[in-house]
Amino acid sequence: MRHRLKPLALVAVGALALHFAVLSGWQWAWPQRTVPVLPAAAMQVREVVGKVREPVAEAAIPVPVPVMPLPTLRTAPAKPAPGARPPAAAPAALATPVGAPTAPAVPAKPAEPGPVRTLMFAGLVEAPPPEAAPRESTTPTPREPTPFADEAIPHYRTQAPPAALLRYELTRGGLSGTGELLWRPAGDHYELRLDGRVGPLAVLTQISSGGFDAAGLAPLRFTDKRLRRPTSAANFQREAGKITFSGPRTEFALQPGTQDRLSWMLQLSAIVAAEPMLRGAGAKVVMGVVGAHADASVWAFRCMGREPVDTSAGVVDAIKYLREPRELHDTTVQVWLDPARHFLPVHALQKSGPSDEGFSLRLREIVAAP
């Protein structure tokens, strides 16, 4: 009986011990037999893992990003140490392979300008941009017929007045001053000069010089100088049979009897003095007139009859002549000639266009030429 109870008691004790161990969390190990087991510390996974690098996230494959080209910066070279030779300059980066010739930049060639007649005052036209400024052509402009070449200009007898100095009252708009007309014939040559002044300022200087021929006064050179403007000139090249100008490259064929913008006054006096039939109302005197800026036109003076003119020298019983314009901005001329003084002008009025204030000369006195 005792032998049967002993195994049962052992089983019961073991079951209780097992339950107690599970419930109390007690750790334990099977007894070691013949193979020694390393201490638990020697087999810690922590020690092995400590020697291995922590896992690194897989590097992302770089994606190429477009890079904007940066401008080349030139840095100032470093100053060499005293006494040391400066290093040789590094060759600049070449835009083209070494040895390949680099064509120089050639600006676009501007279109060749056609023949242009310039009739403007110097300084009144803006200079073209440098890249578009054409070179002035050295080829002379072909000679053109005078604008009045096709018109019939009569041949008149002439009788030039003696030398004289005429002093005038000058007015232009609201300005007033003095004017002097100096007429100096000498043999086969003459000089005619008109000076206008407003206070101390010389506002106008015109000079006509030349000689005489079968048609009367024969100008050789005419110059026109205005305040703050350069002198312009017309040249009557009689041997060559042409008229040239200091500014425009225009050339006109020279017609007999052609006058300039100053000589017409004395030419008109000379014609009326020699042709009594031209002193009556309705009579007409025609001549070609050329200015210093290649302006040319026919001036037809129509006699308006007798008309008194009030001057500083007294009332003058003058003969009036009128040149009417041919177009809107053409020159209108009125001139009064004194029969008692060799038909010299005692009053003259010029204006160009309806908005022009006009330029007037009214006689103060006539004296002998110096």
Q: Is the pLDDT assigned to residue 244 strictly greater than 50? A: yes
- The pLDDT tens digits of the residues spanning 248-281 come to 889 999 999 999 999 999 999 999 999 999 999 9
Residue 54 lies in a domain: no
Tokens 């032998």 -> residue: 3
pLDDT on residue 83: 52
pLDDT on residue 328: 85
Residue 335 lies in a domain: yes
- The pLDDT tens digits of the residues spanning 279-290 come to 999 999 999 999
pLDDT on residue 140: 52
Residue 210 lies in a domain: yes
Mean pLDDT of the chain: 76
Residue 191 lies in a domain: yes
- The pLDDT tens digits of the residues spanning 180-192 come to 999 999 999 999 9
Burial of 313 (0-12, 13-18, 19+ CB in 10 A): middle
pLDDT on residue 196: 97
Q: Is the pLDDT assigned to residue 204 strictly greater than 80? A: yes
- The pLDDT tens digits of the residues spanning 44-86 come to 445 444 444 554 444 445 555 454 554 444 544 555 555 555 5
Higher per-residue pLDDT: 108 or 14: 14
| 257 C-beta neighbours (distance < 10 Å), count | 20
Check if the beta carbon of residue 157 is closer than 8 Å to that of residue 272: no
- Where does the pLDDT of residue 201 fall: very low under 50, low under 70, confident under 90, or very high at 90 and above? very high
Residue 120 lies in a domain: no
- The pLDDT tens digits of the residues spanning 285-317 come to 999 999 999 999 999 999 999 999 999 989 999
Report the number of distinct structural domains present in the chain: 1
pLDDT on residue 216: 98
Residue 84 lies in a domain: no
pLDDT on residue 353: 83
Residue 51 lies in a domain: no
Residue 13 lies in a domain: no
Percent of the chain with pLDDT over 90: 52
pLDDT on residue 119: 28
Higher per-residue pLDDT: 52 or 353: 353
- The pLDDT tens digits of the residues spanning 124-170 come to 233 333 444 444 444 555 567 777 777 889 999 999 999 999 999 99
pLDDT on residue 300: 97
pLDDT on residue 30: 40
Span 34-45, mean pLDDT?
Answer: 46
pTM: 0.63
pLDDT on residue 173: 85
Q: Which domain holds residue 279?
A: 164-367
Least confident of 9-13, 95-99, 206-210, 264-268: 95-99
